[in-house]
Structure 1
Amino acid sequence: MPELPEVETVRRTLQPHLAGRTIAGVHVGEYQRCVATPDVEEFRERLIDSRITRVGRRGKFILLHLSTSDVVTIHLRMTGEVSIVDPVVPADAHVHLWLDLENGKQVRYRDVRKFGRWSLLTENQYAIFDDSIGPEPLEPELTAEKFTAMLQGRKRILKPLLLDQQFLAGVGNIYADEALYRAGIHPRRHSCDLSANECERLLHEIRLVLSSALEHRGTTLRDYRDGNGEPGENLSRLQIYSRSVDDPCHRCGTPIVRELIGQRGTKICPTCQPI
């Protein structure tokens, strides 16, 4: 599933094409469940003739802010792709939703596994949605002191807690593994048992791995593409997530192990990340 760096990369590639553009047409294919709310007819009626003022992001969601004060939220999930294309480009069977822009271009939503969802929220609905998501890890408002209090105030296994979008926005399996490895912290530890120094080190590493992935336009394992249809370039820079079981740790040479933690596969160096 695309995480913060991938979704932010998509946002950055869409912004120049969409900001200031008016939606002239809305089309939803046979698979209408890609629109979560409201119903498809209302979705279409409220979007047509709206102007996209800017493209934003909240956690793993792409946001289309509209001149009507409504906000479109797009959750790509496993295989969702949003791209800008010329209408003459043929659309395959996996394109489920597309928007016609007044400049003749199309915004196409393609999703092979059909897990992604679009929602059209009122200003009040968006405020509730925004409040339901945790702080953004790259924002300066999330200080080391605040992050320490967040971790130590909960008695939860660390890896599932980092993946909880109500706790922290945008971090998923890839970057949780990377940050925990680089911080030297075992993902099965309880958050309340971390010292202040460990909490600060973990936040530092979360920010480093996210920033590095952003710089290299995200990680493409298989499906992820940005708004221009280009893959990310960060895969070769991962230190543990992309490693195979029994590969030697980059730091100490200990064979890498894989454990199931919170129903998610997790790569660990038993030496560098003692329990």
Structure 2
Amino acid sequence: MPELPAVERARRMIDALCKSYRRINVQSAPDPKHASEFVDKLFEGRLGLDLLERRVCVGHVLRQLGRHGKNLWFEFDEPPHVFVRFRMAGSFVVRGHEDGYVYETFRRRTAACRFHDSGTPLVSVWPPKHTHIVFSFAPCSPGVDSASINGISVREFALVDPRKVTRMRLSDSSCPSVEIRSLIGGFDALHALPPIERFERKMLVYPKANIKSLLLGQRFIAGLDNWMVDEVLYYAHIHPESRTCDLTRIDVAALHQSIA
């Protein structure tokens, strides 16, 4: 499962590489025979391959890449904007970026190397295996210097998900950040932790909820995974099966501090 820190690092990486760049192409899948199937799964059958290519393969400029919980959105100068919802798997792989800052490029041995010794170096393959969709960006103006990554001037990144559970959708909203926050409901655990008074008031909306279940649910707080919740409760000295109505103010303060 992609964790919150990994999703945030991916957001920062792609935002730094592609912000103010123009989208020039979207490749739905490396294998044309399975392209429609990949798009149907990725967009839950609500967007056909032809419509995807007509609506997304246009020269819109990326304004910013936002994140709320483990949900990302690509905000362009004109709709449609692209929303990405990670589930049990999924990651972005940046072409040519192999320093391990976000995700190391997926690699495999070439056919010529399969019969050699195990010390044969691995080679990068693009697009990676299990790619669902590839975005390509280029400078808005030919005169703009496109600082390349390992000699690659066009910025490309792929959504890779072996389990095929990541979901995407297009939005015509004028303010995608407000839309995605209204859909999720919970505040972002990394950048939008509210003051303790508002934190406590929102928690008491669910008086009989199990505290661990509440922290895992996206309606209260967005982005925490199972191991993160265990760590938060451990350092706050709160039993995972405690109900929110049984927590004291000292417990709530410790919980707030542990998340922060």
Q: Please state which band the TM-score falls in when normalised by the shorter chain.
A: 0.7 to 0.9
Change (3 A) 1:125 1:13: closer
| Residue 196 (structure 2) aligns with | 144
Paired residues of 1:14 and 1:83 also in contact (CA < 8 A): no
* Contact preservation (8 Å) 2:91, 2:159: yes
Instruction: For 1:1-275, list aligned pairs within 5 A.
Output: 1-29=1-29, 30=34, 31-32=38-39, 33-36=41-44, 37-47=46-56, 48-85=58-95, 89-102=125-138, 103-123=153-173, 126=176, 127-133=178-184, 134-139=186-191, 142-154=194-206, 155-207=208-260
Read off the aligned partner of 1:122 and give its amino acid letter: D
**Structure 1 residue 190: Cα displacement:** 0.6
Kept in 2, the 8 Å contact 1:43–1:120? The answer is no
Structure 1 residues 196 and 40: alpha-carbon distance in aligned structure 2, compared to 1, 3 A threshold: farther
The farther-off stretch of 77-86 and 154-163 is 77-86
Rounded to whole Å, the distance in 1 between the matches of 2:132 and 2:192 is 38
Are the counterparts in 2 of residues 162 and 171 from structure 1 also a CA contact under 8 Å? yes
**Cα-to-partner distance string for 1:177-222 (whole Å, 9 max, x where unaligned):** 1100111101111112111221121111112xxxxxxxxxxxxxxx
Q: CA deviation at 1:69?
A: 4.3
Provide Cα deviations, 1:23-71, integer angstroms capped at 9, x if missing partner: 1111112222113454443333222211111111011112211110442
Unpaired stretches in structure 2, ≥5 consecutive residues: 97-123, 139-152
- Return closer, same or farther for 1:45/1:125 CA change in 2, 3 Å cut-off: farther
- What's the TM-score once normalised by structure 1's chain length? 0.69
Distance 2:128 2:224 in 1: 31
User: Secondary structure of 1:115's match?
Assistant: coil
Q: How many residues in Structure 1 have an aligned counterpart in Structure 2?
A: 206
Sequence identity, in percent?
A: 27
**Partners in 1 of 2:164 and 2:43 — Cα distance?**
11
- In 1, the alpha carbon distance for the partners of 2:3 and 2:197 equals 25
Larger displacement relative to structure 2 (23-32 or 69-78): 69-78
State the 1:2 CA deviation. 2.1
CA separation of 1:43 and 1:151: change in aligned 2, threshold 3 A: same
Deviation at 1:175, TM superposition (A): 0.8
Q: TM-score w.r.t. structure 2 length? A: 0.72
Distance of 1:63 and 1:135 partners within structure 2: 16
Give the AA of the match of 2:5: P
